[in-house]
Amino acid sequence: MAINRNVKVSVGVEEKLMDTEVVEEVDVEQIEEENRQLQVALHKLEEEASLLRALFNKTHNELETLRKPALLVAEVVAVHEKRAIVKLPNGNKFYSHISNSIKELQAGDTVLVEQKSLNILDVIDVSAGVDVEKYVLLEAPQENWKQIGGLKDEVQEIKEVIELPLIKPKLFKKMGIIPPKGVLLHGPPGTGKTLLAKAVAHSTNATFIEVVGSELVQKFIGEGSKLVKEIFALARRKSPTILFIDEIDALASSRMPMGTSGEREVNRTFMQLLAELDGFKGLDNVKIIAATNRKDILDLAILRPGRLDRIIEVGMPSEEGRVEILKIHTAAMTLKKVKLKDIAKFTDGFSGAEIKAVCTEAGYFAIREDRDYLIKKDFDLAIEKVRNKDNDEDEVHIFG
């Protein structure tokens, strides 16, 4: 009996020891799992802290940059040892110190100067023509000769003066003649002057530069002349080039013996334009197209041979021309019982732009009646609307 009791006791002790070992193994595994999770959480927190630290540094640097005062851009006029004469955009000149970090500096360089002291801090590289790149159309206009109606003679002259010399320059060398430098398109508004310029740009692989005459008139003395010079320099660099100057009367109107300071600045800019047309640097493959509604106020200097050699009048379209314009603008429309010749008779005195407006308004009248086709009534109402609008504008012009 005693032996059996001892055996039971030893067995019980062994079971307790085994249970203790199992519990210890479970605790160790649980602790290791918790430790692993803590390590993962700590790693994530460190990554987040690193990102927040980088974001803070970036924001701090940006804030410090924004707190710094802006620098002025100036042009070096002359250099005298460690000092230089700089010219600001407003025309003022200053005698400034040159930073020791600048090793080489010469007249004509573009520099950064401090606002208060106007001392030169750095030299920057500004590509020539940076102010005139905005006038260049990177994509050629989409208008083509097929979209022009009623201007057969005008199209022929534009092709001879602008398109042919750019496409076949060897032909002119063989004939021993120098092609004209450019043309002047004049006539009432809406007759297709700008459309002709865009179409010839589309038909050639030339760079197309478009500028309005009023944009060449600048506020400060000499800025307009400089802009004209840079535009022509850009045109030569990107040749073959078509330079289209719209509303040239804003720049090339008749010069007066006396005038205000503003008028004198316009005259200076105009004289720079004449110098570029005549100048020592040939235009080569640069062709000029100028357009105006007021040929009567242009200075005779711009019209003489050797500058704008061809003067082309773009007048109101004839009845046959109006039919061609109507065919172009109604090509994508569905017409029922509409004779374009009859419509053309009722649009006597309308420009190409007004005929386009008639087609657009006729489409609106059809849409209002929930139709997907146009009838004669739509065009009649559209013609009346456009004509009344023109009459109202004339009255405002007279009595305004």
- pLDDT reported for residue 91: 77
* Cα 336 to Cα 235: distance, rounded to the nearest angstrom: 49
Return the pLDDT at 222.
Answer: 65
> What Å distances lie between residue 58 and 45, 54, 61, 63, CA to CA?
20, 6, 5, 9
- For the chain, list residues with pLDDT below 50: 7, 128-129, 395-400
The yes or no reply on domain 319-399 and CATH 1.10.8.60 is: yes
- Is the CB of residue 267 less than 8 Å from the CB of residue 312? no
Residue 185 CA to residue 287 CA, distance in Å, equals: 13
The per-residue pLDDT for 335 is: 86
Residue with tokens 């009649």: 380
| pLDDT score for 75 | 86
What are the residue ranges spanned by the domains of the chain? 1-68, 72-124, 133-313, 319-399
pLDDT of residue 132: 62
> pLDDT for 345-394, tens place per residue?
888 888 888 888 989 999 999 899 888 888 888 888 998 888 887 665 55
What distance in Å separates the CA atoms of residue 37 and residue 48, rounded to the nearest whole number?
Answer: 17
pLDDT, residue 120, reads: 86
CA-to-CA dists, residue 26 to 15, 30, 86, angstroms: 17, 6, 83
Residue 85's DSSP bridge partners are 78, 95
Residue 377 sits at φ, ψ, to 5 deg, of -60, -40
d(CA 327, CA 162): 27
| pLDDT for res 391 | 60
Confidence (pLDDT) at 10: 58
Q: Which residues have a Cβ under 8 Å from the Cβ of 108 and sit 6 or more positions away?
A: 75, 76
Q: Which residues contact 193 (CB under 8 A, 6 or more apart)?
A: 185, 186, 187, 246, 291, 314
CATH class of the domain defined by 133-313: alpha beta
Q: Strands across the sheet with 207-212, in order?
A: 136-137, 207-212, 241-246, 286-292, 182-186, 310-313
Determine the straight-line distance between the first and last CA of the chain, rounded to whole angstroms: 135
- Write out the two tokens for 26: 């479970």
CATH of 72-124, one of 3.40.50.10490, 2.40.50.140, 3.40.50.300, 3.30.9.10: 2.40.50.140
Q: How far is CA 122 from its chain centroid?
A: 30
